[in-house]
Amino acid sequence: MQKGFEMGRLRSAVSVGLMAAAWFTASVTATAVIVLPGRTEQNALSPVVQRRVATVILAQRIRAYAAMAQAHSLCLVRQGTLSSSEAVHALNISLRDLGIDPVVLKNPLVEAVSPQFQGLLGTDCGLDPKHEQEAQALLRNEL
């Protein structure tokens, strides 16, 4: 096993993590939109309420991304693709690249949901399509 920090391997892990989490977030976004009131109902809400709803939804999606990205990183560690320190560093890079403070990983909701997501990942550390509905339910109910 090679020692030291290999930037190429780390960057590829970041890319894979971003793709997996982006795919997951996109599939979850479709579900989240269904839960929102219709466009005419949204327009009837005051701008303050609309901003608050948007803020709550954004926070939920950030937590969802962080939890899924963390589950993906831990899966790569479990497979031996990355060391634990490389996975942490790659995860921090991917979050910062999106403008998300890595402190979100310490959010109690993220800490609780991330291990549950790990059980839904396939051998490629991506969300197993047969567990997509379970993952969406987990997001709706837990985040």
User: Does 4 fall in a domain?
Assistant: no
User: Does 15 fall in a domain?
Assistant: yes
* Domains identified in the chain, total number: 1
CB 17 within 8 A of CB 72: yes
User: Does 85 fall in a domain?
Assistant: yes
**Positive/negative CA dihedral, 64, 29, 101, 49:** negative
CB 124 within 8 A of CB 130: no
User: Does 1 fall in a domain?
Assistant: no
Q: Tens digits of per-residue pLDDT, 11-31?
A: 555 555 555 555 455 444 434
User: Does 16 fall in a domain?
Assistant: yes
User: Does 121 fall in a domain?
Assistant: yes
User: Does 92 fall in a domain?
Assistant: yes
CA 77 – CA 59 distance, rounded (Å): 27
Q: Tens digits of per-residue pLDDT, 78-115?
A: 999 989 999 999 999 999 999 999 999 999 999 999 99
**Positive/negative CA dihedral, 143, 102, 97, 120:** negative
User: Does 91 fall in a domain?
Assistant: yes
Report the candidate in 68, 86, 78 with the shortest Cα–Cα distance to residue 17. 68
Q: Mean pLDDT across the stretch 60-79?
A: 92
Residues across the chain: 143
CB 90 within 8 A of CB 10: yes
86: containing domain = 10-142
- The pTM for the full model equals 0.69
Question: Higher pLDDT residue, 33 or 106?
Answer: 106
